[in-house]
Structure 1
Amino acid sequence: MSEKIDLLVRNRVNHVEGPHWDDTTQCLYYVDVFANGVHRYNAVTGENSKLNLGDSAATVIIPRGFLVSQRTDLAILDSWVNGKVISIAKVEVDPRMLNDGKVDSSGRLWIGSGYCGKDDLGPDPLKWPKYHGSLYSLDADGCIKKHLSNISLGNGMDWTGDNTIMYYIDSLPRQIYAFNFDITAGTVSNKRTVADFSSAEISDMGFPDGMVIDTEGKLWVACCDAGKVTRLDPETGKVIRTVKFPCEKITSCCFGGKDFTDLYVTSSQFQMTPAQLEKTPLAGSIFKVTGLGVKGRKANSFAG
């Protein structure tokens, strides 16, 4: 099967993250983290609209209720029209910041964090502060639980179709982990490494960032600083397939479209020099990949 890559939205943002497909409206939601904006791309009309959430970085937007993150807080965006944001929980303390998140099939939000002092994020992620972040969950009743500590930069996550395994990425050590998952209790256990992007077995893949699982149980991982999305078998840790993009900082991906066979891929131009931007002028754009021969699942909505 031969894939096709289309440029969907060109250079609208600085650091695109957190794509989330809403099948009820055929819209793609995403965030521009350091510009504090949330965006909506309407796949039917081609319209791209934006809301600014003030001076707090947005890293997650979950539609149908619009649960958003604002640096250290989780909040509800009451509508796309007026942009009013109401904080519902303070989760972290500066300079740590919430990052990528996703909702499990019970309607529970999971979200990670990392250190984000403005003077500490240089061009080399290997020199960023480590082990200051955590992994949290937010239940429908507003209860916040911390599940993991010593995370460096919590990123992509997803679950197997039978809800027995949760996959989770810590980007700075370049690890993809698996946990036994209890959907009823909302707990994780038995941490083990699925794939080590710093190993010789998985070379030239950069830093694992956002992630989504397909209906065959394989992981699609955004490879930041490598310009790729890779399909990975979590049972063997082997790379099955690689899709190359015309920019290096690929940040995340999600399945969407009418039958969930399209892969939407986000990218960044964060901390890129003018020379780097000239070399890869599509940095900060959004792409759609078709013809992959696989499909994803409908995204879950927050139950709160």
Structure 2
Amino acid sequence: MTTSNPQVVTVLKNVCQKLGEGPHWDISTQSLYFVDIDGQRVHRYNAATGQHDSKLLDDQVSLVVPRKSGGFVVGLGHTLSQLDWSTGTASVIQEVEHDQHSRFNDGKCDAKGRLWAGTLTSEPGQDFTQGGGALYTLDLDRTVRTQLTGLTISNGLAWTDDNATFFFVDSRPGNVYAFDFDLQAGTIDSERTVKQVGGDNAVVAGAVPDGMTIDTDNKLWVALYGGGAVIRLDPHTGTVLQKVDLPASKTSSVSWGGTNLDELYVTTGYSASEPLSGSLFKITGLGARGRPANVFEG
């Protein structure tokens, strides 16, 4: 395990009433955007001023990424939509899936500004549909391509700094995967498993990998949903280098932030039995840092 001096700070207590997710650090405004999926809210926290506000939408909202030309792309139900922050209104860019029980989950942009976003399917009162999810790209001309099918809970995404490798999480069966990545074409191939983080070989019993980011040393940081922790993972060896515990079991996603991109923000889900659940946290003193998040160029 890596030696560091991590400190966990509660930034916004109980800010998400359902499931906090999808953090994106906007380096230009020193603000973190994140969502409460089932609470149907997009949140904004300005770290420079401490100001926090949010927008209530009309469906489950699962990801939020700024657009270079203004506004945001959000995963809204089974659509990719454009959000105007000033009015709080969203308009559909593409209706990607037509199953009313499907919705988008996690999503990020690559270095060319394409949006990569995955889906899952869950009928009311039922578990997630095995193989009911997929991974898509929204290109700059707003066309959609299917990258992967047969997923169950499409989740965290990250790229190496040389854009040669793409990392991806499917929370069931609990694996972190690696692919060869072609930045110019926007394609992936040569799938291999980095590590099974959940399932039979769970790092924390009962926990599954959720959101993910990467640091400047090309090590992965993975939120363990149900495990109340974030781990640092060596993608070459599958070795867990570090584990940081948090006071909320439903740790859902992570994003580098702060002036020097050396603070790791962590979103969590709400649980009535946990006083700090649903809070936004940040971890300092990790001795690592990230790279600026990409925006949608379309």
TM-score, normalising length: structure 1? 0.92
Which residue of the other structure, out of 82, 91, 96, is the alignment partner of 1:86?
Answer: 91
Separation of aligned partners in 2, 1:200 and 1:183: 32
Q: Is contact 2:168-2:178 (8 Å) kept?
A: yes
Using the TM superposition, give the Cα deviation of residue 81 of structure 1 relative to its aligned residue in structure 2, in angstroms.
1.9
The list of structure 1 runs, each at least 4 consecutive aligned residues, that deviate by more than 6 angstroms after superposition, is none
Q: What residue number does 1:246 align with?
A: 247
**Residues 1:287 and 2:278 are matched in the alignment:** no
Q: What residue number does 2:101 align with?
A: 95
**Residues 1:117 and 2:118 are matched in the alignment:** no
Decide which moves more: 110-119 or 293-302: 110-119
Q: What residue number does 1:143 align with?
A: 143
Q: Is contact 1:19-1:29 (8 Å) kept?
A: yes
Please give the per-residue CA displacement for 1:125-150, whole angstroms capped at 9, x wherever unaligned. xxx32111100000010110001110
TM-score, normalising length: structure 2? 0.94
Separation of aligned partners in 2, 1:60 and 1:116: 18
Using the TM superposition, give the Cα deviation of residue 47 of structure 1 relative to its aligned residue in structure 2, in angstroms.
1.3
Q: How do 1:49-198 residues align onto structure 2 when only pairs under 5 Å count?
A: 49-54=53-58, 56-64=59-67, 65-78=71-84, 80-93=85-98, 94-121=100-127, 128-197=128-197, 198=199
Using the TM superposition, give the Cα deviation of residue 118 of structure 1 relative to its aligned residue in structure 2, in angstroms.
2.2
Q: Is contact 2:202-2:208 (8 Å) kept?
A: no
Q: Is contact 2:267-2:279 (8 Å) kept?
A: yes
Q: Is contact 1:159-1:165 (8 Å) kept?
A: yes
Task: State the SS of the aligned residue for 1:193.
Answer: strand
User: RMSD over aligned Cα, in angstroms?
Assistant: 1.2
Q: What residue number does 1:213 align with?
A: 214
Residues 1:203 and 1:6: Cα distance change in structure 2 (over 3 Å): closer
Point out where structure 2 has 5 or more consecutive residues left out of the alignment. Answer: none
Using the TM superposition, give the Cα deviation of residue 85 of structure 1 relative to its aligned residue in structure 2, in angstroms.
1.1
Separation of aligned partners in 2, 1:201 and 1:103: 28
Residues 1:201 and 1:45: Cα distance change in structure 2 (over 3 Å): closer
Separation of aligned partners in 2, 1:74 and 1:98: 8
Residues 1:85 and 1:201: Cα distance change in structure 2 (over 3 Å): closer
The percentage of counterpart residues that share the same residue type is 41
Q: Is contact 1:211-1:219 (8 Å) kept?
A: yes
